[in-house]
Structure 1
């Protein structure tokens, strides 16, 4: 005999709970709809039996008059279940993303800002949602990563996001909700087919089911296959990236652009995207990526910079650097006592200095590197800072972000914020300060 829907759903929650380390709270993302209300009710039973803490979070988007009704229903349900509820009001900034995407972005931003680090958030998406996500990605022309849809588990920004019911149909959730005499709120926008997902749900998938009754399951399975392929490609790409890395003494790791350019175009695209993902950067749109790859063979002294929202790629001396966008530096100079952390426009300077030979009455001044500085190095004599930077392979865009410490018109130290000492003058000793995280 097949298990009852309620028992099957509880079993999936018990499996998810078993994967959660002890001491971590479980949160349920509670919208007020059928899926999330059912998730909260069954999660409360499972967590109570296991003596595990459970909390709920409701995001009020404020996009419709029914928003207050949703919040009130969530409050009532949580009170009945004795589950602590956190309500977060957000402002949805559409800004070209479309209202669906903007609301989703605001919702996840609130999750990450509200939940304590290391806690786990359960989301109520199901198999039908996964099928819709797969179709939407296919219609956008997405690659393997997009077609992979929603993952069962994702670790992001110190939180763990889990979708325990991703293999369960909406019909099963409805059956379980009816057996529990559950009440929930119907979102009036769910019937608005001007939204892409609603149009798929109400117009496209019903037609597909008429011809292929298992269409939803098949589409969700395709998303699972794409997810597995994406994970494998990522593993292979990470291994290959290790052979392309170039360690820079002063700037960390970068990629050998010449060696990257010798790979096939498809391989180049995969490696750059994977490197972005490893560094927590958004992957470049297709046109930006193609523009970057076309310039892998640029001259060694060329200053190539390709930017896209949230990231930029720079090529210099046949090396590829991926990074967050660099903000323009404001004019800045400051007097410094040499002991306390010095505030710069890009954060505190975590160094202190002991001047061994200069009279202590000579004040210290700190400023961005301007060019033309000369420093007296022990056993090396007077050296142009510009020449030192060239010898150290420090890229041009980093050179203007260095802090030079001056005393009596002479450069006595060069620091890469927050506390990387590059050079110190003879008779001077810099030490590192422990800055608060």
Structure 2
């Protein structure tokens, strides 16, 4: 935009109008130019308008010695404006990309602090948007990645807003100088070994020298790609609605889809639908890794293929695909005697079991399938457990962790499977709650 600094407050106010009824506005305050201007703008607007409660959050990564002085600088800036500040220290996990690790630590903290009805405001601007588009283009990103940073998205229990995405860094600098603001210059921002800094200092200046409107054009392209991604998301929802049929094993509490409706789609629509479904569950696979999906679909009917992804596994079993993570990927430990059947028994890495109805007489023990187990059924005599599980089409990944109730060496019940889960005359049933975790979000 070519607007002057004088209308920056009114432009910000206009973009934040839909969020005037939020419970709380929190500013992600690094102390740098962008967040310093955003903090000053919002504090000034709060003096003239009725706005939600305003506060700031400073994330201290502790990655360089200079950063130790930044919390005090941020505190002084907030005190001068009458804005409460919360300083949060995070541990950045070592890895190949320090930039990415720091960002993940920062947003993990923001996510945990953003409560219901809260809005977290960050200071990214149009120059940042152009950098993001170029950076992702160099990494071979698809439509979702090239749509760059959205102006808003869910975060924690609230919403993340980027109200300055249509504002240039030059406009922010003009505002800061006009209001005599002081801000932190992060020394790492000059380090050209970081990809974004290389783009900022080496690439974008050359582009804008040749094409003065380059950043505005890139922001416009990102907006077009966001619109295209919106259409792809709508198509994914249509395709997933066909596959989101209920499973008779709904009590597993696992995200799952029927495979047959997906298999009728073109390969591109399969990837689109599955990406949409997987996005809240795991970091999405890159292009080369999608061969794992093809292998899973093409495996023999009697196979139980697994596609391993960054944050869990996709299993194919019983005509469906299932998302497994957390405790589902840990081997359940053999539990001890169930000494008090009147209370639930917690199973290491495998949830808990409990009885309904009359509690059977002990001694009792929960075990897991080893192979060769037999079970006596009133009308069918002794039957092999493997055959009983086959008859009920129990998914393969469940079979080794289904709690089996033994009285001595006699198999008395298999949790949660109708007809096998209790004793009709005894008036009791064995119930299994597979996990206490939320399998729906990563």
Regarding TM over 0.5, the answer is yes
In structure 2, distance between residues paired with 1:420 and 1:149:
50
In structure 1, distance between residues paired with 2:318 and 2:11:
56
In structure 2, distance between residues paired with 1:29 and 1:407:
59
Which one has a larger percent strand, Structure 1 or Structure 2? 1
- Name the SS of the counterpart of 1:351 in structure 2: strand
In structure 1, distance between residues paired with 2:153 and 2:318:
37
Residue 127 of structure 1: aligned partner: 126
Q: 8 Å contact 2:239–2:262 — kept in the other structure?
A: no
Partner deviation per Cα, 1:67-120 (whole Å, 9 max, x = no partner): 022211101011122222111112222312x11111111111121233434422
Residue 351 of structure 1: aligned partner: 354
How much does 1:205 deviate? 1.0
In structure 1, distance between residues paired with 2:295 and 2:238:
24
How much does 1:388 deviate? 3.1
Cα distance change, pair 95–254 in 1 and its aligned pair in 2 (3 A): same
Cα distance change, pair 378–36 in 1 and its aligned pair in 2 (3 A): farther
Greater than 6 Å deviation, 4+ residue runs: 378-381, 419-422, 431-437
Partner deviation per Cα, 1:105-149 (whole Å, 9 max, x = no partner): 111112123343442211100111001000011111111011011
Q: 8 Å contact 2:332–2:349 — kept in the other structure?
A: no
Partner deviation per Cα, 1:228-260 (whole Å, 9 max, x = no partner): 111210111111122234432015664443543
Partner deviation per Cα, 1:189-239 (whole Å, 9 max, x = no partner): 222222111111111111111111110010011111111111210111111
In structure 2, distance between residues paired with 1:301 and 1:237:
28
How much does 1:300 deviate? 1.1
In structure 2, distance between residues paired with 1:60 and 1:166:
24
Residue 386 of structure 1: aligned partner: 386
Q: 8 Å contact 1:261–1:268 — kept in the other structure?
A: yes
How much does 1:316 deviate? 3.0
In structure 2, distance between residues paired with 1:56 and 1:192:
27
Please, which runs of 5 or more residues in structure 1 have no aligned partner? none
Residue 226 of structure 1: aligned partner: 225
Residue 259 of structure 2: aligned partner: 257
- Name the SS of the counterpart of 1:16 in structure 2: helix
Residue 160 of structure 2: aligned partner: 161
Partner deviation per Cα, 1:164-210 (whole Å, 9 max, x = no partner): 11111111111221221111111112222221111111111111111
Residue 101 of structure 1: aligned partner: 100
Q: 8 Å contact 2:333–2:349 — kept in the other structure?
A: no
Say yes or no: does 1:299 pair with 2:300.
yes
How much does 1:413 deviate? 3.2
How much does 1:433 deviate? 10
In structure 1, distance between residues paired with 2:322 and 2:149:
30
In structure 2, distance between residues paired with 1:373 and 1:16:
64
In structure 2, distance between residues paired with 1:41 and 1:354:
64
In the TM superposition, 1:19-418 aligns within 5 A as: 19=19, 21-22=21-22, 24-48=23-47, 49-96=49-96, 98-251=97-250, 254-277=256-279, 279-324=280-325, 326-336=328-338, 337-346=340-349, 348-349=351-352, 351-355=354-358, 360=361, 362-375=362-375, 383-415=383-415
Cα distance change, pair 380–123 in 1 and its aligned pair in 2 (3 A): farther
Q: 8 Å contact 1:375–1:425 — kept in the other structure?
A: no
- Structural RMSD (CA): 2.9
How much does 1:295 deviate? 4.0
Q: 8 Å contact 1:122–1:164 — kept in the other structure?
A: yes
Further displaced range: 128-137 or 190-199: 190-199
Q: 8 Å contact 2:296–2:307 — kept in the other structure?
A: no
In structure 2, distance between residues paired with 1:255 and 1:286:
22
Q: 8 Å contact 2:332–2:350 — kept in the other structure?
A: no
- Name the SS of the counterpart of 2:153 in structure 1: strand
Q: 8 Å contact 2:115–2:156 — kept in the other structure?
A: no
In structure 1, distance between residues paired with 2:200 and 2:292:
37
Cα distance change, pair 19–271 in 1 and its aligned pair in 2 (3 A): same
- Name the SS of the counterpart of 1:213 in structure 2: coil
How much does 1:313 deviate? 1.9
In structure 1, distance between residues paired with 2:372 and 2:6:
74
Cα distance change, pair 44–389 in 1 and its aligned pair in 2 (3 A): farther
Further displaced range: 134-143 or 187-196: 187-196
In structure 2, distance between residues paired with 1:196 and 1:400:
46
Q: 8 Å contact 2:414–2:430 — kept in the other structure?
A: no
- Name the SS of the counterpart of 1:66 in structure 2: helix
Further displaced range: 171-180 or 8-17: 8-17
Q: 8 Å contact 1:305–1:314 — kept in the other structure?
A: yes
Cα distance change, pair 83–253 in 1 and its aligned pair in 2 (3 A): closer
